Chains A and B, each alone.
Chain A
Amino acid sequence: MDLVTPEIGLIFWTTLSFLVLLFLLRKFAWKPILNSVNTREQSIKDALAAAEAAKREMENLTADNERILKEARAERETMLKEAREMKSQMIADAEEEAKAKAEKMISSAQAAIETEKKAAIAELKAQVASLSVDIAEKVVKSELSDKDKQLKLVADLLDGATLK
């Protein structure tokens, strides 16, 4: 029974010791230790977060670089394409122009030829007329005696000259 009967003296000393210990250790041990541990853990957490942020930034940078590179490549591609198109366009244009010019030249040459031809024909006609008049004059001069015969001859001559 003694074993489970608490003694007042020990209760008193336990209370006193425990409270003194609690007070002193709280002030001189637990507070500084816990503060240090917390500060350290916080700094570790912060450092980890900073590293994570740096990593993310790095990733962003790399992604940006890649994007810019890709854009540049695409731009080059479009530029080349445009140049190629322009080249073919220019060639086509030049061909078209040359063709048009040639056609124009041909048509103007044809027109000139036609005009010349007409002029030649007209001249020919005039010459033929004058020749005919000369012939007629000569015929008239030399062969006015034979009036019927002459007339018949004129008619034959005229018929014989087919115009072209």
Chain B
Amino acid sequence: MKTTTFNLLKSLLSGVFFLWVAFAAYASPDAESKESIKEEEFEASELIFHHIKDSHGFHVAGDFSIALPVILWTDNGLVTFMSSEFHHDNDGEVVVEKNGMKFVNLHEKIYQLEAGASSVSLDHEHHPTNAHRPLDFSITKNVFSMLLSLVVMLLLFSTAARSYKKSQNHMPSGFGRFVEPVIVFVRDEIAIPNIGEHHYKRYMPFLLTLFFFIWLNNIFGLIPFFPFSANLSGNIAFTGTLALITLLITWFSSKKSYWKHMVWMPGLPVPMKLFLAPIELMGMFIKPIALMIRLFANITAGHVVVLSLISLIFVLKTAWAGTVSVPFAVFISVIEVLVVAIQAYIFTMLSALYFGQALEEEH
């Protein structure tokens, strides 16, 4: 079952990559002719950063992109409009006027122009001088992808749960049969060894949700076409939020011994205790920060490598480069399939480990 899924995914991925390259090659003369006035050179880093960063609106293919809602909390209250009102502009040229306020999209960030200004003016570092950012709660590409993963997860796992309920002897069928080994793996290899037999049950829903949420969004990020391809799990806000939730749960489940070991390590001479306390306190925050950076960096790096390999074709300006870079990109993508599962596992495993440490009793 697993191998077939993997093979399917592999062939799907490789097929998609060839298609994508074909698309890119098809679209490139058009884009070049448009940009030739402004820029002669192909900017690989710009393309890569455009892909790995968030955006308002979901680019599908060519000039076609899906508009997403922009939700802003300004000084004058909530403002909502569709991202299509910017007409694909992200250089701050198209000004959208709502409720007497003017908004521009500057590098996928929404700025509100100061009163009286009619267009955005930039300083030499490309920072706007006459605009500020309202609180942006827009459904961006990443948020869209996350909501999609939410719906997919709810559907998949409620189906799996129902397959258990339907059977007489608690045997799953269909998708339930696929997820059960993973669920049992999370229980037997992550939760029980790290948290312990007594407490693990309380953390199972969190660990399972975390594992599948990260894994699914990682996989979504690997699939290079609409409605996937958003680099959500390679976004620091996403990983940071999950790490913060882990930290909060660690704190809420912590016992006295956890804090005692932190600020006044027992069984050591006093100078050593004084020396260790700040290190341990820092460690408490470094652990979730490491979680945040590990997932962010791994996923982003994977995207960057694949995109760089594809960009080689345009940097070298020959289709022959594709004979090397495309198989290599496929190879990296296949490795990424492994990496995204491992990263979800590591995030979950370390979270469980921190909970286990917080729960440790005096011995």
List the interface of chain A (C-beta within 8 A of B): 2-15, 17-18, 20-22, 24-26, 28-34, 36-37, 39-40, 43
Known: A6-B237, A11-B240, A33-B161. 4 other contacts (CB 8 A): A10-B142, A29-B157, A39-B170, A40-B170
Identify whether the interface residues of A are mostly helix, strand, loop, or mixed.
helix
Report the Cα distance A62→B183, complex, angstroms: 44
Please tell me if the beta carbons of A6 and B204 are within 8 angstroms of each other in the complex. Answer: no
Report the Cα distance A23→B140, complex, angstroms: 24
Q: Whose C-beta in chain A lies nearest to the C-beta of B231?
A: A3
**Cross-interface CB contact of B53 among A3, A17, A37, cutoff 8 Å:** A3
Take A7-B237, A20-B150 as given contacts and tell me if A30 and B180 are in contact as well, using a CB distance cutoff of 8 Å.
no
Judged by a CB distance under 8 angstroms, whether B275 is at the interface is: no
Take A9-B143, A10-B143, A13-B143 as given contacts and tell me if A37 and B170 are in contact as well, using a CB distance cutoff of 8 Å.
yes
Please tell me if the beta carbons of B236 and A25 are within 8 angstroms of each other in the complex. Answer: no
Please tell me if the beta carbons of B205 and A2 are within 8 angstroms of each other in the complex. Answer: no
Report the Cα distance A3→B138, complex, angstroms: 18
Please tell me if the beta carbons of B161 and A17 are within 8 angstroms of each other in the complex. Answer: no
Please tell me if the beta carbons of A25 and B137 are within 8 angstroms of each other in the complex. Answer: no
Please tell me if the beta carbons of A3 and B49 are within 8 angstroms of each other in the complex. Answer: yes
Take A21-B209, A40-B170 as given contacts and tell me if A33 and B137 are in contact as well, using a CB distance cutoff of 8 Å.
no
Residues from chain B with a CB closer than 8 A to the CB of A31 are: 205
**Cross-interface CB contact of B205 among A10, A13, A22, cutoff 8 Å:** A22
Report the Cα distance A21→B154, complex, angstroms: 7
Take A10-B143, A13-B146, A18-B241 as given contacts and tell me if A28 and B153 are in contact as well, using a CB distance cutoff of 8 Å.
no
Please tell me if the beta carbons of A29 and B142 are within 8 angstroms of each other in the complex. Answer: no
Q: How far is the CB of B200 from chain A (nearest CB, A)?
A: 11
Take A7-B54, A34-B187 as given contacts and tell me if A17 and B146 are in contact as well, using a CB distance cutoff of 8 Å.
yes
Judged by a CB distance under 8 angstroms, whether B171 is at the interface is: yes
Judged by a CB distance under 8 angstroms, whether B277 is at the interface is: no
Q: How far is the CB of B124 from chain A (nearest CB, A)?
A: 16
Please tell me if the beta carbons of A36 and B164 are within 8 angstroms of each other in the complex. Answer: yes
**Cross-interface CB contact of A33 among B139, B150, B180, B235, cutoff 8 Å:** B180
Residues from chain A with a CB closer than 8 A to the CB of B135 are: 8-9
Residues from chain B with a CB closer than 8 A to the CB of A24 are: 154
Q: How far is the CB of B123 from chain A (nearest CB, A)?
A: 16
Please tell me if the beta carbons of B180 and A26 are within 8 angstroms of each other in the complex. Answer: no
| B interface size (C-beta, 8 A) | 52
Q: How far is the CB of A5 from chain B (nearest CB, A)?
A: 7
Please tell me if the beta carbons of A33 and B183 are within 8 angstroms of each other in the complex. Answer: yes
Judged by a CB distance under 8 angstroms, whether B206 is at the interface is: yes
Please tell me if the beta carbons of A11 and B237 are within 8 angstroms of each other in the complex. Answer: yes
Please tell me if the beta carbons of A12 and B206 are within 8 angstroms of each other in the complex. Answer: no
Closest 5 CB pairs of A and B: A6-B237, A29-B157, A26-B205, A10-B237, A36-B164
Report the Cα distance A10→B147, complex, angstroms: 11
Q: Whose C-beta in chain B lies nearest to the C-beta of A24?
A: B154
**Cross-interface CB contact of B154 among A2, A6, A25, cutoff 8 Å:** A25
Judged by a CB distance under 8 angstroms, whether B251 is at the interface is: no
Please tell me if the beta carbons of B241 and A15 are within 8 angstroms of each other in the complex. Answer: yes
Report the Cα distance A25→B210, complex, angstroms: 11
Q: How far is the CB of A29 from chain B (nearest CB, A)?
A: 4
Judged by a CB distance under 8 angstroms, whether B195 is at the interface is: no
Q: How far is the CB of B172 from chain A (nearest CB, A)?
A: 7
Report the Cα distance A13→B296, complex, angstroms: 17
Identify which of A7, A21, A34, A39 gathers the most chain B CB atoms within 10 Å of its CB.
A7
Report the Cα distance A28→B158, complex, angstroms: 6
Judged by a CB distance under 8 angstroms, whether B176 is at the interface is: yes
Q: Whose C-beta in chain B lies nearest to the C-beta of A34?
A: B204
**Cross-interface CB contact of B209 among A3, A13, A14, A30, cutoff 8 Å:** A30
Report the Cα distance A75→B95, complex, angstroms: 113
